[in-house]
Amino acid sequence: MSDCDICKQIKERNNLLYEDEKIAAFLSLNPATAGHIIIAPKQHAPILEQVPDFIVSELFIKANKLSIACFEAIGAEGTNIIIQNGIAAGQSVPHTTIHIVPRKENDGLNLLWKPKQQSEEQMSTLELMIKEEAKKIAPFEKEKPKPIEIKKPEEIKPTKEENYMIKQLKRIP
């Protein structure tokens, strides 16, 4: 998509930290903290639900590895791994992204929210509604298998004549 900032950043390889055929990760241009990383599928998808399951799996694997990199490389003491999925959730760019925000104790970044209490009746209703919808969850989408190239083993060529002493040792029972 030509007007998507994430697609542009992937194409231009700005602040690129990691890339493979499906995923790109780069430093955020508007970081919440030092080392803030954005991970995105290369294929344009405005919301998470439009990303194929096998790519979602890869996104989370890479998020885990890049979170570890934040601990090791910049001394993070924690990370927030955030998905803003939809405008109501704070998504400002129409491309699925996962944010890794490196954290240190007392860094001043406040991502806490105040829980909203639900009545028992509301909780039961929500539980039933979501359970009913969850029954429709289909099996994971499988990536098309790639052909495996099997190479023939190389022929072993004798390098020198065998040492007669080693040959004798092989005969000993």
Domains of the chain: 5-103 (3.30.428.10)
Determine the pLDDT at residue 14. Answer: 87
pLDDT band at 158 (very low <50, low <70, confident <90, very high): low
* Phi, psi angle pair for 22, to nearest 5°: -115, -30
pTM equals 0.75
